[in-house]
A and B are shown apart, each in its own frame.
Chain A
Amino acid sequence: MFDSFFAIVARDLLLAMRRRSDVLTTLFFFVIVVSLFPLGIGPELDTLRLIAPGVFWVAALLASMLALEKLFLVDYQDGALEQMLLAPQPLSLLVLGKVVAHWLITGLPLVLLSPLLGLQYDLPGETIGVLVLTLLLGTPALSLIGAIGAALTLGLRGGGVLVSLLVLPLYIPVLIFGAGAVEAESSGLGGIGHLSMLGAIGLTALVAAPLATSAALRVSAE
């Protein structure tokens, strides 16, 4: 049964390898947005340290948003989605495969690059560590939640704008606890509570989002 899951992950990673520009756009978007703030605000180190968690998280949200539109669109257009709907395995498993591949392509590079970008904000080592940890916990949740929106708006005109309106409000809890954990940690309060909440959101999304996405896909593909 899990073979189909791995088949989808392998296929999507291979497709991303063949079409690297799509991967790099999301990553560069994140890098540029994060780098614009120090340039705009100036070398005010205290301010930069203060806004860093918020900026990183908002940029991550927007980058994840940017990549969502294409999540199911290409499959829908070339008919691969129909074949997925007709595969003799639970659709939610295939959806999870697509989301995992999507996160590996658009989420993970962003997490790996964030320590480097953190230097621009004069963040101490520990804070950077917590930031990376929150992104590592939070970005999979973003991909999972976003998949529901991408599935719902599939095939609609102006789907790209609609998906942002649908999904961004759902991202708010992840944003609050993600950025909150870093702030709490750097102010000495300890961010473990925030991190637990982030983990809980991630686990809930892991269970519920593939089911919701599958249901939405069946409706959208009709």
Chain B
Amino acid sequence: MLEAVNLQCTRGDRRLFSGIAFELQPGELLHLQGHNGSGKTTLMRALCGLVTPTEGEVRWQGRPIRGQRDEYHAELLYLGHKNGIKDDLTGVENLRTACRLAGNPINERQAWEVLERMGLRGHEDLPSRVLSQGQQKRVALARLLVSRARLWLLDEPFVGLDTAAVALLQEVIREHVAGGGLVVLTTHQEVELTSGKVKRLKLGWKRDGDV
């Protein structure tokens, strides 16, 4: 399904990683690990096509993603470090705009329900700029609950969330994998899966004594 073939990325003159290869099938979760600066985020961005790898390619259903951008993006949900939510829009407006752009419009009532499930009851119609960091993250993550995408690329999804939200997100990811979805995530938190398979990929290397 999702395949990385001999990926190499460089930043300036420095090689971040090379020779990355893996394959991910429906019902599998790939856990990217590595120290700060090992290129986890760059690999994520290369997987969704935001960054062009210097060598190798990413394939979706056996074909390079370059040649099928719109089809691939329809199957893809990427959440990066930046939430992609607008400060001046409310949670409901943010969620509805994001869903509409992803080609999966939802109505006002659905948006309210989803935000309530994300633990944002009473904050749905406040501009996002008055929400806390964690609440803004919840607004962004609410997209997962209504998404029809099969492949989720989540870059540090647990950062800034409280324990209740972490548990909820773990539950959502579990459901997605159990339903035949694919997940790639970078995190320092473990996600316990009840079904499906967890793969691990370690980026970067360190000598003894390095911090």
Which chain B residues lie closer than 8 Å to A172 at the CB level?
none
Taking the nearest CB of chain B, how far is it from the CB of A128, in angstroms? 36
Determine if A24 is an interface residue (Cβ-Cβ < 8 Å). no
The one of B45, B74, B84, B105 in contact with A83, judged by C-beta atoms closer than 8 angstroms, is B84
B85 close to A78 (CB less than 8 A): yes
Given A15-B88, A88-B71, A222-B50, A78 contacting B103 (CB threshold 8 A): no
* Binary contact track A78-117/B, C-beta < 8 Å → 1, others 0: 1110111111111000100000000000000000000000
A79–B155 alpha-carbon span in the complex (Å): 13
Most central of B76, B89, B97 by chain A CB within 10 Å = B97
Interface contact A8-B78, CB-CB below 8 Å: no
CA distance A52 to B62 in the complex (A): 62
Contact of A89 (CB < 8 Å), options: B70, B80, B85, B97: B70
A78-B83, A82-B78, A86-B73 known; A4-B88 Cβ under 8 A: no
Residues from chain A with Cβ under 8 Å of B89 in the complex: 11, 14-15, 18
Tell me the bound Cα distance from A94 to B101 in angstroms.
9
User: Does B98 touch A at the CB level, under 8 Å?
Assistant: yes
**Which listed residue (A3, A19, A77, A79) contacts B80, Cβ 8 A?**
A79
Q: Are B88 and A86 in contact, CB atoms less than 8 angstroms apart?
A: no
Instruction: Fill in one digit per residue for B14-53: 1 if any A CB lies within 8 Å of its CB, else 0.
Output: 0000000000000000000000000000000100111110
Residue A7 at the chain B interface, CB threshold 8 Å: yes
Chain B residues near A8: list those with CB within 8 A: 101
Chain B residues lying within 8 Å of A94, measured Cβ to Cβ, are 101
Q: With the chains together, A170 CA to B82 CA distance in Å?
A: 33
- A86 near B100 (CB under 8 angstroms)? no
Within 8 A of A (CB), among B97-122: 97-98, 100-103, 105
Do A83 and B98 touch (CB < 8 A)?
yes
Of A11, A79, A80, A88, the residue contacting B74 (CB under 8 A) is: A88
Interface residues of A in 51-88 (CB under 8 A from B): 77-80, 82-88
Residue among A11, A14, A84, A88 facing the most chain B CB atoms (10 A cut-off)? A88
CA distance A85 to B103 in the complex (A): 13
Cβ of A32: which chain B residues have Cβ within 8 Å of it? none
Residue A200 is within 8 A (CB to CB) of chain B in the complex: no
Contact A222 B52 (CB under 8 A): yes
Q: Tell me the minimal C-beta distance from A16 to chain B in angstroms.
A: 9
Does A119 reach chain B (CB closer than 8 Å)?
A: no
Q: Which residue in A18, A83, A86 is a CB contact (below 8 Å) of B127? A: A18
Shortest CB distance B171–A (Å): 24
Given A7-B97, A11-B93, 7 extra CB contacts under 8 A: A3-B105, A4-B103, A7-B100, A79-B83, A80-B85, A87-B101, A87-B103
Give 3 nearest A-B pairs by CB, closest first.
A79-B82, A88-B74, A79-B84
Q: List 21 A-B contacts (CB under 8 A).
A: A3-B105, A8-B101, A11-B89, A11-B97, A14-B93, A15-B86, A19-B88, A78-B84, A78-B87, A79-B80, A79-B82, A79-B85, A82-B80, A82-B82, A82-B84, A83-B101, A86-B48, A86-B78, A87-B101, A88-B74, A89-B101
